[in-house]
Chain A
Amino acid sequence: MKNINNNTLNIASLNHWYGTGEMRRHVIQSISMKISPGEVVLLTGPSGCGKTTLLTLIGALRKVQDGDLKVFGKQLFGASRKTRQNLRKNIGMIFQGHNLLRCLTAEQNVQMGADLLNGFSYKARRAQAREWLRAVGLEDHLSKLPHDLSGGQKQRVAIARALAARPKLLLADEPTSALDSSTGREIVDLLKKLALEQSCSVLMVTHDPRILDVADRLLRMEDGQILPSV
């Protein structure tokens, strides 16, 4: 499919509900938004307002129930499981918990990301994994297990892993919530710097008021709706 408007993300009147019958809750209420390539967008709002649901919809982790959701120009409404699965390879994800594989070393965790790329030899992918760990400042911790890394170091590994698959869109869900303020600041700066180098768009959900200034654009969400920008 050709990407007509060239936007990384294009959402128009997206709706989503949880539950059925009387318990049905309208968690995403006709949201429309866009993200251009290389843009860093921060999404804030009280908990339970639907931020994470929106993120999982954009990340092709959930079926779209109603509305238009195009990632890299690909319509996700009615998309098959396989289409969503393939699309996910181009979307990097950073989670609140680092979600690293406990049985893999830092280097191997990052290589799990690089392994998603086709056409590179094992050695080349390992070299890339090392390169990414160097970029996040962990060149001395290549063969450490997540267990032996600090919270900030784990989140750096997670960033390296997400970027190693060379995504065009990076989704981050409160990546600093488990970190102290100075580490959180470092992580976000690093994230922005590396994403920009890759011309990768970033959509970050955050509660942390100290990092709002990294955003090109700030979106505020409440009760399933995006508030008009202030």
Chain B
Amino acid sequence: MELNNLLKKRKIPLAWLLLTRQPLRILVAIAGISFAGILMFMQLGFRDGLFDASVTVHKLFDADLVLISPRSKSSISMSGFPRRRLVQAMAHKDVTGTTAVNWNFLLWRNPENLSTRSILALGFEPNKPLLIDSDFEKKAKTLKNKGRVLFDDLSRDEFGPISSWFKSGRLVETEVAGKRVRVSGIVSLGPSFGADGNLITSSETYLELSPGNPKGSIEIGLVRLEKGSDIEKVVRSLNISLPSDVKVMSLKSFINFEKNYWKSSTSIGFIFTLGAAMGFIVGCVIVYQILYSDVSDHLPEYATLMAMGYNLRSLLGVVAREGFILSIMGYIPAYVSGQVLYALVRSSTKLPVEMSFSRASIIFCLILFMCMGSAIAAMKKLADADPAEIF
């Protein structure tokens, strides 16, 4: 019965035929919409990728809470605080463990061409947890020897072919901050906007590499809590009990703190959002032009349909459906190209640019909005269809 009713409502798919019988026009429209979509995918992808990249290491920390200096503004300008604050934090009944982390940029010498480049170095006590990675513990044990470092194989290529040399069994030795080190393992962290590469070493080696570091001063304190404890509550009580030269926050707010720096204190967010907005506007103009000229070209035909007894609403529906069809047909190539370009960006910049469901659906909504908005604007032209004029 339902199907019967549906069959009774089915009509000639006029919008579809109008578009498909004009292959050039629909190709131009699809190209325009896809171009706008690709632009939005790229701009928003870069933006989110850069924000995500800024916290690649942060996300891997094995911690519930993080202690930093209140003077620290971001991962590229970390200030130190007294290490004993961690010992004081241990006094809280919910705290099960802590890790002191040194975090600073040091000069790495590329062992292949001997050029130097700034690398983010993390120092920690190798017998304590640092990253949530199952084989990290084993790699960390190699750091117990002095002068050993773990190299991040997702670091930019300018640091040298470290991981391929290491994996081929070669002994990889180079200089960090002018002192000889040996690579004893490979980890996968990923570069960020601030750091082109990462290395992890023991606190002991770290202090040797950066002798200017004040004694007993660290940049990040990781705190692990009893399972099931109320993180926010512990944050509040630690903030009260610890002196004001240290700030306590949950790992999640530490990640947001870092992202926020890049979002609010740099132009990245603005630049890329503006780029996406430009794509959106260009798309609107193209779709509007296409639909407007389509309606103009077919004005006598629309007028004929009105003379036959089709009401204005059903003709507006035709234009709206044209807009809808265009949005789908334009989105698909934009999505596919987006995936391809993201893969390209990932392989050449090592930025974590992924096609996220939320971005894919936001851009679909934007394209739909773009096409439907343009369709509504083009509908105004339909008011010029006067059936009395066609005789």
Contact = CB atoms under 8 A, between A and B. Distances in A.
B308 A104 contact: no
B169 interface: no
Interface string A77-119: 0000010011011110101100101111000100111011011
A108 B12 contact: yes
Interface string B1-31: 0001001101110100110011000000000
Interface in A163-196: 165, 173
B310 interface: yes
Interface in B276-333: 298, 300-301, 304-311
B390 interface: yes
B308 A113 contact: yes
A93 B7 CA distance: 27
A55 B14 CA distance: 28
A203 B12 CA distance: 29
B388 A61 contact: yes
Interface residues of A, number: 38
B357 interface: no
Given A89-B309, A108-B17, A95 B390 contact: yes
B12 A165 contact: no
B8 A101 contact: no
A108 B11 CA distance: 10
Contacts of A52: 391
Interface core residue of B22, B308, B311, B390 (most chain A CB under 10 Å): B308
A2 interface: no
B387 A122 contact: no
A229 interface: no
Contacts of B300: 99
Interface in A152-169: 161-162, 165
Interface string A198-212: 000000000000000
A59 interface: yes
Contacts of A90: 309
A89 B14 CA distance: 19
Contacts of B309: 85-86, 88-91, 116, 165
A103 B11 contact: no
Given A88-B309, A116-B308, A95 B7 contact: no
Given A103-B21, A103-B22, A56 B8 contact: no
Contacts of B388: 56, 61-62
Interface in B227-275: none
Contacts of A113: 308
A68 B223 CA distance: 91
B305 A112 contact: yes
B8 A103 contact: no
Contacts of A162: 308
A2 B237 CA distance: 86
B391 A95 contact: yes
Contacts of B391: 52, 55-56, 59, 61, 95-96, 173
Contacts of B304: 95, 99, 101
Task: Name B's interface SS.
Answer: helix
Contacts of B310: 116
A61 B4 contact: no
B102 to A, nearest CB: 71
A165 B17 CA distance: 21
A89 B310 CA distance: 8
B27 to A, nearest CB: 16
Interface in A9-53: 52
B4 A115 contact: no
Contacts of A104: 12, 14, 17
Interface core residue of A85, A96, A161 (most chain B CB under 10 Å): A85
Nearest to A173: B391
Contact of B7 (A56, A61, A122, A173): A122
B7 to A, nearest CB: 4
A5 interface: no
A99 B17 CA distance: 17
A162 B309 CA distance: 11
Contact of B311 (A62, A85, A145): A85
Contacts of B11: 115, 122
Nearest to A56: B388
B390 A121 contact: no
Contact of A101 (B22, B301, B306, B311): B301
B308 A112 contact: yes
Contact of B301 (A56, A62, A102, A122): A102
A172 to B, nearest CB: 10
A33 B18 CA distance: 41
Q: What 6 pairs across the A-B complex have the smallest Cβ distances?
A: A89-B309, A103-B21, A88-B309, A122-B10, A61-B388, A121-B7
Given A61-B391, A103-B17, A112-B305, 13 more contacts: A55-B391, A61-B387, A62-B388, A86-B309, A99-B300, A101-B301, A102-B301, A104-B12, A115-B12, A122-B8, A123-B7, A161-B308, A173-B391
Interface of A: 52, 55-56, 59, 61-62, 82, 85-86, 88-91, 93, 95-96, 99, 101-104, 108, 111-113, 115-116, 118-123, 145, 161-162, 165, 173
23 contacts: A56-B388, A56-B391, A59-B307, A59-B391, A61-B307, A61-B387, A61-B391, A85-B306, A85-B311, A88-B306, A89-B308, A96-B391, A112-B14, A112-B308, A119-B8, A120-B8, A121-B7, A122-B7, A122-B8, A122-B10, A145-B21, A162-B308, A165-B309
